[in-house]
A and B are shown apart, each in its own frame.
Chain A
Amino acid sequence: MKKRYSGIFKVLLVVSLVILAGCGGDDAVTSGDQVMDDAVETGTLAITANGEEFSREGFLSKDGWELTFDQIYATMGNIVAYQSDPPYDTDQGWDIGYKTMVELAGSYTVNLADPQSNPVFLDQLHDVQTGHYNALSWDMLRAAEGPSAGYCLLLVGQAEKEGVVIDFSLGIEQEVAYMGGDYIGDERKGILLPGGTADLEMTFHFDHLFGVGEEDATDPLNLEALGFEPLAVLAVDGVLETDLTALQTALNDDDYALLISIMTHLAHVGEGHCLAQFIQ
């Protein structure tokens, strides 16, 4: 009797095992998010700046001026990277919630026109907590010293149109604070894994300032760009050395207002727009 029951239960056991095996297949999936959340290791976070090909190779402005740049000095400070939570969106304004934030001390002046730098390396933070750094804020500040002293942004180059060549130097004194969310581009940035290196990029779109000749005149980008013609008419003997203070009286009110407004959408995170406000 015992033997028979033993046989019965063996058969039942086989059936039960088959059932259990059939039911358990999908439970072995693990979540990459969980792995990331549990990580407590550190890595290196690099901060870079990029003026894109426009600054390194030059481009045709919306009004037909061929622009090339010798230097585009930009000075940045108060650089802070966040693991924002919830993920930061510029629609939410300047309030940002975050799990982790790291700050790069000091200010940095870089040449965005340097053809060898794509992008320009500013500095890196070692031993920072791993995770996804999905927001970045910084100030564009006046340089205290160096070739661009007194300016946040100094563009030096040549403009050429129909045989007319203008050597120009355009200084921007207005300091601006920027805050952007996730980097938008060919690749995701700011994803720092244990022992690894990730980077975040401040991206400057100079086509927003001068427009792009290859695009239609009615393209929103060109409609909101100053172009170079309003500056070209101010050149004397093929030379234009000016800055925002001088342009406030030299430009008409509309062009000056446009130039000022462009400063608020000059900086991006890749192709993602940033929130901006002038620093008084």
Chain B
Amino acid sequence: MQSKFRSLSSTCLVGFAVAVCLIILPADVALAHGAELQYIERSAIEITARYDSGVPMANAQVAVFAPGSPAEPWLTGTCDSEGQFFFTPDPEIPGLWEVQVRLAGHGDLIRIEVAENTIGATGTTGFTSLQKLLMALSVIWGLIGTALYFSRRQR
């Protein structure tokens, strides 16, 4: 009887362990054929480039440099006909971002301080990381309780 309980206990424990692993694995691994939608609300930067005369720098070349990487552009693009350019800095790279705008021998560089945690609300059709962590902790707590229950019954 004891060995039956021991076997059942081990099976349950392994089962719980596997369940916990499945829960905390990324959703796209667990459900490779499923669909998952996410949204991240982020703050975009709008650049407006004009000559001193006020004329828009239409189609000007834009190079965006992330903090710590001044030599290689993080992003390149062109202004629209109104001299505007939009980009969303990576919130995981806080610091001084640099944006260089050039057209026909004229150019300038502007620096934009991007603070940490500027990322906005997020959402997903799957579980969030926090939800997964809470579920994992709940399972672990249940695991411990189950183990203690069986060990007490065998005395």
Interface residues of B in 1-17 (CB under 8 A from A): 6, 9-10, 13-14, 16-17
Instruction: Tell me the smallest distance from the CB of B117 to a CB of chain A, in Å.
Output: 14
| Interface flags, B5-33, vs A, CB<8A=1, else 0 | 01001100110110011001100000000
Chosen A-B contacts, 28 in total, with CB atoms closer than 8 Å, are A1-B151, A4-B147, A4-B151, A7-B13, A8-B13, A8-B143, A11-B14, A11-B16, A11-B143, A15-B17, A15-B136, A15-B143, A16-B140, A26-B92, A29-B92, A31-B67, A33-B68, A36-B68, A87-B96, A132-B70, A181-B109, A187-B71, A188-B71, A191-B70, A191-B71, A220-B51, A271-B102, A271-B105
A51→B102 CA distance, assembly (Å): 18
| Interface flags, B41-77, vs A, CB<8A=1, else 0 | 0000000000111010000000001011111000000
Indicate the size class of the contact surface on chain B.
Answer: 35 or more
Given contacts A4-B9, A15-B21, A18-B21, contact A185 B71 (CB under 8 A): no
A124→B105 CA distance, assembly (Å): 26
Q: Is the CB of A12 within 8 A of B107?
A: no
Q: Is the CB of A5 within 8 A of B151?
A: yes
Q: Is the CB of A12 within 8 A of B144?
A: yes
A241→B24 CA distance, assembly (Å): 83
Residues of B within 8 A of A182 (CB): 98, 109
B interface SS class: mixed
A66→B69 CA distance, assembly (Å): 43
Most buried by A among B10, B25, B92, B105: B105
Given contacts A11-B17, A18-B21, A36-B68, contact A272 B143 (CB under 8 A): no
| Interface flags, A4-25, vs B, CB<8A=1, else 0 | 1101100110111011001100
A26→B53 CA distance, assembly (Å): 47
Q: Given known contacts A4-B9, A31-B67, A272-B109, what 5 new A-B pairs fall within 8 Å (CB)?
A: A15-B20, A87-B96, A191-B70, A271-B105, A271-B106
Q: How many A residues have CB within 8 A of the partner chain?
A: 39
Residues of A within 8 A of B13 (CB): 7-8, 11
Interface residues of B in 84-137 (CB under 8 A from A): 92, 95-96, 98, 100, 102, 105-109, 111, 133, 136
- Is A114 in the interface zone, CB < 8 Å from B? no
A7→B12 CA distance, assembly (Å): 12
- Is A64 in the interface zone, CB < 8 Å from B? no
Q: Which residues of B contact A (CB under 8 A)?
A: 6, 9-10, 13-14, 16-17, 20-21, 24-25, 51-53, 55, 65, 67-71, 92, 95-96, 98, 100, 102, 105-109, 111, 133, 136, 139-140, 143-144, 147, 151, 154
Q: Which residues of A contact B (CB under 8 A)?
A: 1, 4-5, 7-8, 11-12, 14-16, 18-19, 22-23, 26, 29, 31-34, 36, 87, 89, 132, 181-182, 184-185, 187-188, 191, 205, 207, 220-221, 270-273
Q: Is the CB of B71 within 8 A of A184?
A: no
Q: Is the CB of B68 within 8 A of A34?
A: yes
A273→B108 CA distance, assembly (Å): 8
A33→B93 CA distance, assembly (Å): 11
A188→B76 CA distance, assembly (Å): 14
Given contacts A12-B140, A185-B102, contact A272 B108 (CB under 8 A): yes
Residues of B within 8 A of A23 (CB): 133
Q: Is the CB of B140 within 8 A of A18?
A: no
A47→B90 CA distance, assembly (Å): 34
A89's nearest neighbour on chain B, judged by CB, is B111
Closest 3 pairs (CB-CB, A-B): A33-B68, A271-B107, A32-B68
A184's nearest neighbour on chain B, judged by CB, is B107
Q: Is the CB of A272 within 8 A of B9?
A: no
